[in-house]
Amino acid sequence: MPIIFDSEKKIFKLDTLSSSYIFKIYDENYLVHLYYGAKIPDYNLTDFEDRRMYASFSASNPNLLRTGFSADVYPLEIGCNGCGDMRIASLQIRNADGNASTDMRYVSHKIYAGKPALKGLPALYANEDSECMTLEITTRDKVTGAEAILIYTVFEKHSALTRSVIIRNTSEKPFTIEKVMSFNLDLIGKDFDLITLYGRHNNERNFERRALAHGRQGIGSRRGSSSAQQNPFMALLRHGATEEYGDAYGFNLVYSCNHLCEIEVDFNESSRIMMGIDPSDFGWLLSPGEEFYSPEAVLVYSNEGLGGMSRTFHKLYNNNLVRGQWKKAKRPLLINNWEGTYFDFDDDKLFNIAKWAKDIGIEMLVMDDGWFGLRNDDRCALGDWTVNENKLRGGIGSLISRIKGLGLKFGIWYEPEMISPDSDLYRAHPDWCIHVPNRDRSQGRWQYVIDMSRQDVRDYLFDKMSEVLAHNDIDYVKWDFNRNITEAGSALLPPERQKEFFHRFILGTYELMDRLTKTYPHLLLENCSGGGGRYDPGMMYFSPQIWCSDNTDALSRVDIQFGSSLCYPASVQGAHVSASSRSGYETKRNVAMWGSFGYELDPAKISKEASEEIRTQIADYHKYYDLIHYGDLYRIISPWEDPYKVAWEFVSEDKSQAMLTVVVKFFKEARNFFIKLKGLDPEKFYKCDHNGEVYSGALLMNAGLSMYHLPDGDGESYVIHLEEVK
Ligand code: DGJ
C-alpha cells in the first residue's frame, strides 16, 4: 500500500518505489514531520523527541510546556503564522478581528485511490484510480473556524508526490488569506545545495548551484507569469551528490503566475522548504462557506542524483500531466514562418514556403504573427483577431485549402491575453486592459495585457477566436504571451479584492485555454511566451509542447535545453532549425532533434545545398522520434561542468537502443576523449552505427567509447546510434 496509517502510533507513511515520506499526529494534534528520503521499510522514528531542539526564546503551547515541544523547532507539515512557529509561514490568515494568528491542528483524514481535480487549476491526474493514492487531512483553527485541507497524492511507480492545500471558511465571518503555500517540508539538516533555473528572454533556464546558508533564500517571480527569469523549480542536492549519485529532491510548482520558492535554514540546522503563490501582492477574501484552492506542487526524490530526479519528472509529466489527443500521438514536423519572414508575408509567400516544405518532407505550416488586423509590425492590432485580407487574399479559408491541397497541416498564431493601444479593440474597450486608476499604463513591446480576470473579456476572446477556429480546418494554435504585467488591477474588482488580481488573471487564462482545448480537442496547442517565459507545468497541462526559447542559435540553445531538462521532458520542448544560427545545419539539426522538432526559415533565402541537406535530416527525425520523446535522458557532459563541449544520450525504455549526441562548442585539444555511456543493459550487445563495431553494454558504460576520430572543430557535432544485436 503506498499510504498507510498506523492508528495506534498515529503515523502516516507514504511510499513510492524509491522514497518514503513519514509524519505523525503529535500531542495537541500538531502534524509533525518525521522523514522524507530513500525508501525505508519501517517507521520507528519517534526518537526525534530526544533531539533536544528546544531553545530559549522559542515559545511553547501551554499544554505542552513539560514536553520540550515548541512549534518553533519541531518539523511540521504546515507552518502557521503567529502562534509559536517563527520560521517562514506556509499559511497566514488575517481573521475577521484583524490579527493574523493562524493555528491549524489535525481533525480528521481520509485515504482513497485516485486523485481529486483542483477547481480551476491545472494539476497532475491519474489515468486510472489504481495509479495513485491520496491522503486528505483536514486541519482546523478552532478560534477562527478556518480549515486547511492538506492533500497528498502518491504516484508510487514514479517516485513522486503532489501536494496542495484547500482553505475552507467554515465560520460565520469572512477572512483574508494572506499567504498559502502549496506545501511545507521541514527537512532535518542543511547539508544541501540549492539548484535553480534563472535567465531572461533568449537565455532561459540557466543552471545555478549554491550551498544552503542559515536564514532565508530562494527565488520567485512577481512578473504575472512563471517567467524566464526564475522558473518555478528548485532542487536540493545533498552535499557531494552528483548527476548520477546521491540524494536529490526536486520541487516544481504547477502554476504560471507569481510564485515564491523559499527555504529557511533555522538555528537548529533544519531546512524549511516551501513553494506557492508569491504572497507579496496576493490576498484572498474568503466568505463563509467558500473554498480556496492553492496550486499544486510536485515533489520528487531520487537517490540516483540529479539525473534520476530528472528522469522521474520526465516520465511523470509524459504520463500524468500532458493530456489530450496529442499526448502520445506523433506530432507533425512543422515549419514556422516567423524567423523566415517576420511580418512581411502574404498568402503566396506562405504557399511557396509550404510547397518547399512538402517537397522535403515537412508535415505542417504554422503561420505566425501578422495575419490579422493591420498588424504589419509589432506596434498595433493585438486584439483585432480578424483576418487581414490584403495579406491573405481570398481569406484564410482560401490559404488553408491551398496548403491542405499540398497535403500539409495548418497552424496559426494568437496572443489572446494582449491588446495593442493602437487597435480597434482598445478604442472600443479602453477599460479591458489591465490598469489602475490615474496611473500611466506601462507598455511592453508596445502592448498592454488584457484583463483575463473578466468573464466578458474571456467570452469575447473565445468568440473571436472561434470565428476563425470553428470555420476553418486548423490543426494547431501557437499561444504567445510577450510581456509581463504592470499596474496590476481590474476595473471590475472592488478595492478589497484588488489583491486577488494576479491569481484571478491566471485562473482566467486557464479557463480560456480549457474552453478552447475542450471545444477544439483536435487542436495541438503550443504555448510560447517570447520563447520560454511560461515554460512551466501549468502550461504543459494545456499544451503538450512549448516553444523553449526565441534563441535558435544551436550553440546557445543547447545550454537552455540542458537547463530545461532538469525537470521538463523532451516531448514538450519546441526546438527548431533556423537559418540565423551560427553553426552548420548538421549541428542545428542535432540540437533541435532534442525536442518537438521543426524548421523556422524562409527557403527562398537559403542555398540549394542547405535545402538538400535539410531533406536528408528529416528521416532521422522520424527514426529517433520515439527514442527522444519517450526514452530516458542521460546528461553525459553538461554545460555547467564543461564550457567546451556537451553530450547527452537517450536510451529506449527497453534498453534496446540509445542515441548519443555530442556538440563541440569550442575546440579544445583533448586526445583522450572517451565517453562512458549510461543507462544501457550491461548484458546486452549493441552495434554502433559510427564504426560498425559491436560492444557489450558493460563495455560501453565502463570502458567507454573513444571520440577521438570524430569532428571536434568549433560548432561541430555528431550523433552515434547504438542498437541491440541479439
Ligand atoms: C515571440 C515568439 O517567441 C516568436 O516565436 C514569435 O511568435 C513572435 N513572438 C511573434 O510576435
Last residue in a domain, options 320, 352, 383 = 320
Alpha carbon of 384 to ligand 1 centroid (Å): 17
Residue 584 belongs to a domain: no
Alpha carbon of 332 to ligand 1 centroid (Å): 20
Burial per residue of 243-260, b for 16 or more beta-carbon CB atoms within 10 angstroms, e otherwise:
beebbbbbbbbbbbbbbb
**What does the pLDDT read at residue 610?**
94
State the closest ligand 1 atom to the C-alpha of 531, by its place in the atom list counted from 1: 3
**pLDDT score of 641 more than 90:** yes
Q: What is the CATH classification number for the domain harbouring 143?
A: 2.70.98.60
Ligand 1 pocket check for 528: Cβ under 6 Å: yes
pLDDT tier, 671 (very low <50, low <70, confident <90, very high otherwise): confident
Are residues 281 and 137 part of one domain?
yes
Count how many domains the chain has: 3
Ligand 1 pocket check for 649: Cβ under 6 Å: no
**pLDDT score of 278 more than 70:** yes
Are residues 296 and 419 part of one domain?
no
How confident is the model over 381-387, as a mean pLDDT? Answer: 98
**What does the pLDDT read at residue 349?**
98
553 included as an active-site residue: no
The pLDDT tens digits for 657-668 are: 999 999 999 998
Task: Tell me which of 219-233, 558-572, 663-677 is least confident.
Answer: 663-677
**pLDDT score of 220 more than 80:** yes
**What does the pLDDT read at residue 581?**
74
Alpha carbon of 531 to ligand 1 centroid (Å): 7
Phi/psi of residue 510, nearest 5 degrees: -60, -40
Ligand 1 pocket check for 481: Cβ under 6 Å: no
pLDDT tier, 54 (very low <50, low <70, confident <90, very high otherwise): confident
Are residues 102 and 223 part of one domain?
yes
Alpha carbon of 503 to ligand 1 centroid (Å): 25
Catalytic residue among 15, 266, 480, 602: 480
Are residues 305 and 358 part of one domain?
no
Residue 182 belongs to a domain: yes
Asked if residue 31 lies in contact with residue 78, where contact means CB atoms within 8 angstroms, the answer is: yes
141 included as an active-site residue: no
Are residues 98 and 60 part of one domain?
yes
Q: What is the CATH classification number for the domain harbouring 415?
A: 3.20.20.70
Residue 291 belongs to a domain: yes
Catalytic residue among 186, 550, 602, 712: 550
Alpha carbon of 482 to ligand 1 centroid (Å): 8
**What does the pLDDT read at residue 708?**
83
**pLDDT score of 83 more than 90:** yes
Q: What is the CATH classification number for the domain harbouring 642?
A: 2.60.40.1180
**pLDDT score of 50 more than 70:** no
- Amino acid identity at 661: T
Residue 607 belongs to a domain: no
Are residues 382 and 303 part of one domain?
no
Ligand 1 pocket check for 480: Cβ under 6 Å: yes
Q: In this structure, are strands 133-140 and 105-113 parallel, antiparallel, or unpaired?
A: antiparallel
- Write the residue with the smallest CA distance to atom 4 of ligand 1: 530
Are residues 192 and 72 part of one domain?
yes
Residue 367 belongs to a domain: yes
**What does the pLDDT read at residue 721?**
97
Strands, E assignment, 126-214:
133-140, 146-155, 160-169, 175-188, 192-200, 203-211
How confident is the model over 682-693, as a mean pLDDT? Answer: 96
**What does the pLDDT read at residue 126?**
98
Ligand 1 pocket check for 547: Cβ under 6 Å: yes
Phi/psi of residue 113, nearest 5 degrees: -75, 145
How far is the C-alpha of 307 from the C-alpha of 325, rounded, in Å? 29
**What does the pLDDT read at residue 52?**
65
**pLDDT score of 51 more than 70:** no
Query: Which secondary-structure segment (H or E) carries 587?
Result: helix 585-592
How far is the C-alpha of 609 from the C-alpha of 612, rounded, in Å? 5
How confident is the model over 557-572, as a mean pLDDT? Answer: 98
Ligand 1 pocket check for 229: Cβ under 6 Å: no
Are residues 35 and 79 part of one domain?
yes
**pLDDT score of 311 more than 80:** yes
Ligand 1 pocket check for 284: Cβ under 6 Å: no
Residue 578 belongs to a domain: no
**What does the pLDDT read at residue 162?**
98
Last residue in a domain, options 547, 581, 596 = 547
Ligand 1 pocket check for 370: Cβ under 6 Å: no
Are residues 500 and 359 part of one domain?
yes
How confident is the model over 682-690, as a mean pLDDT? Answer: 97
The pLDDT tens digits for 158-195 are: 999 999 999 999 999 999 999 999 999 999 999 999 99
Burial per residue of 385-405, b for 16 or more beta-carbon CB atoms within 10 angstroms, e otherwise:
bebbeebbeeebeebbebbee
Cα dihedral value 586, 587, 590, 593, nearest 10? -100
**What does the pLDDT read at residue 65?**
87
Residue 45 belongs to a domain: yes
Domain that residue 348 falls in: 334-547
Alpha carbon of 370 to ligand 1 centroid (Å): 10
Residue 616 belongs to a domain: no
State the closest ligand 1 atom to the C-alpha of 530, by its place in the atom list counted from 1: 3
Task: Tell me which of 161-175, 253-267, 572-586 is least confident.
Answer: 572-586
What is the best residue among 375, 382, 528, 600 to mutate for testing ligand 1's pocket, by most ligand atoms within 8 Å of CB? 528
Are residues 266 and 342 part of one domain?
no
Mean pLDDT, rounded, of the chain: 96
Which sign does the torsion angle of CA 682, 687, 690, 691 carry? positive
Are residues 178 and 46 part of one domain?
yes
Are residues 112 and 232 part of one domain?
yes
**CB proximity list for 384: less than 8 A, separation 6 or greater:** 372, 373, 374, 375, 423, 424, 425
**What does the pLDDT read at residue 669?**
83
Last residue in a domain, options 320, 350, 381 = 320
Alpha carbon of 369 to ligand 1 centroid (Å): 7
**What does the pLDDT read at residue 68?**
83
The pLDDT tens digits for 453-498 are: 999 999 999 999 999 999 999 999 999 999 999 999 999 999 999 9
